[in-house]
Amino acid sequence: MKSTFDLQNPWRTPGYQFPRDRYIERDIFTKLMEEQEKKRITVVLGSRQVGKTFLMGKIIEKLLSEKNIDPKQIFYFNFDAFNLIDLAENDREFFDFIGSYGLANKRSYIFFDEAQRITEVGVLIKRYYDLGLDIKFTVSGSSSLQIKSQVKETLTGRKQLFELPPISYLEFLRYKGLETSVDLTQLVRFESDKYQRLMEEFVIFGGYPGVVVTEDTDAKISLLKEIYHSYIQKDISDFLKVEDIAGFNRLVQFLAAQTGSLCKINEVSKNIRVSRHFVEKYLFALEQTYVLSFLRPYFTNLGKAIIKTPKLYFCDTGLRNTVFGTFQRLNKRPDTGVIIENFVFSELIKSIEKDRIWFYRTTTGSEIDFLFIRGRHVIPVEVKYSTSRQGVIPKTFDTIKGQTGFMKALVITKDYLEKREKANAQINFRPAWSIFNMGDEFAGELS
């Protein structure tokens, strides 16, 4: 047990040096560091290999290097090592361990990684927290099915929850060394090819950090396959106890082909030959483990929106392409429009609360891809990744204009940048590769 702990906590060894490799700077890191000054429990949830363990390591490094914390004050436990679970679940042994290898009269910083492995983890941490000891808990999990429900029920008023997505397009561009504060007009005129190329790389291979830092294309694909198979084995098979793995895989493959479409459960059940009950169970698991995300239709009667059929998207386009088995360039694939739409969606929910994003569909089937709604502020967002249709204001804007009176709208194009006025509303056309600062479009409404 102690030998496992020592392997997981190398900074306790005199003379240890943290790696100095170049890494992806995550926007969430500053908030997580600020949390270390607070008593409440910090909970970080996200899919496998999205960077939770790495961020914990960077927090520990900064505590040691900049906050003058003694290494003996830090305890990191990764519960993929099962022999540490018994220690964590036994109150007396756990606190004897902390007392034996910590510092008296000093705060202990305790990191629980892959905490979903612990039975009733929310109850356990609440019990430890409520003892009133000088302990700061930071907890991570790759599945929110157990942790999220438990922390909501048992840690009310005791925790701050963060959901860590794959890296954003903005973080990706910064890692690649590209400027993200230059005027878009200049970029369109002189550097669009560079940004277009990198956007394609991001859309095809996604934002899993390990994939981003890998240069070789075949190695990227191999790592994405490993991520998916690890997810199937560890989260779906081992943790969630799904027995019909073949049926589950058929479901995911079918959904990959249906990206951006309405998720009709009876239709899905019929096509993959799995009962409606298990389809619903699997869809819930896919959403709670950050593989899929569902988008609600907009209705003025929100009760109807809850029961109406949602659209589905993958949280990471690289993982979607892995499931679908295609990594071709955008100009060589039939689903380019769909995957760009998925890309826009995934970037929206990384920078804006998902509850503020909807889609709009008329009774005749006309759609607006996304609606940002905050109070009376509405911004339609339509993805038109087609040269022949650039510069055309979607007709459905007229319908939603009459219902909401929006003052601004976005049309995401292939390489077209322009601002127009129509019916007292500003219509902003911008290339898909420029959405790294799309959040600026919503800044006034978010303030």
| Tens-place pLDDT, residues 309-355 | 999 999 999 999 999 899 999 999 999 999 999 999 999 999 888 89
Query: Where do the DSSP E strands lie in 122-268?
Result: 135-141, 159-163
Look up the domain containing 234 and give its range: 169-446
Domain identity same for 421 and 302:
yes
Q: Which residues pair with 110 in a beta bridge?
A: 75, 137
189: left (phi over 0), alpha (psi -120 to 50) or beta: alpha
Domain identity same for 323 and 398:
yes
Domain identity same for 151 and 216:
no
Q: Number of folded domains in the chain?
A: 2
What pLDDT digit, counting tens, does each position of 250-300 carry? 999 999 999 999 999 999 999 999 999 999 999 988 998 889 999 999 876
Domain identity same for 187 and 153:
no
What pLDDT digit, counting tens, does each position of 386-426 carry? 765 667 888 889 888 888 889 999 999 998 999 999 889 99
Task: Identify whether the C-beta of residue 423 lies closer than 8 Å to the C-beta of residue 335.
Answer: no
Domain identity same for 153 and 208:
no
Domain identity same for 425 and 333:
yes
Q: In angstroms, rounded to a whole number, what is the distance separating the alpha carbons of residues 129 and 150?
A: 14
Domain identity same for 118 and 187:
no
Q: In angstroms, rounded to a whole number, what is the distance separating the alpha carbons of residues 63 and 267?
A: 52
Domain identity same for 184 and 239:
yes
Note the pTM of the prediction, 2 decimals: 0.92
Where is the domain boundary, 103, 133, 163? 163
Where is the domain boundary, 163, 187, 207? 163
Where is the domain boundary, 103, 132, 163? 163
Domain identity same for 130 and 268:
no
Task: Tell me how far CA of residue 91 lies from CA of 206, 227, 424, in angstroms.
Answer: 41, 34, 64
Which CATH number characterizes residue 21's domain?
3.40.50.300
State whether residue 181 is helix, strand or coil.
coil
Residue 75: the pLDDT is 98
Domain identity same for 153 and 302:
no
Of 95-109, 136-150, 222-236, where does the model show the most confidence?
95-109
Task: Identify whether the C-beta of residue 386 lies closer than 8 Å to the C-beta of residue 338.
Answer: no
Domain identity same for 131 and 198:
no
Residue 145: the pLDDT is 61
Q: Which residues pair with 108 in a beta bridge?
A: 135
Domain identity same for 173 and 57:
no
Closest C-alpha among 166, 110, 108 to residue 139: 110
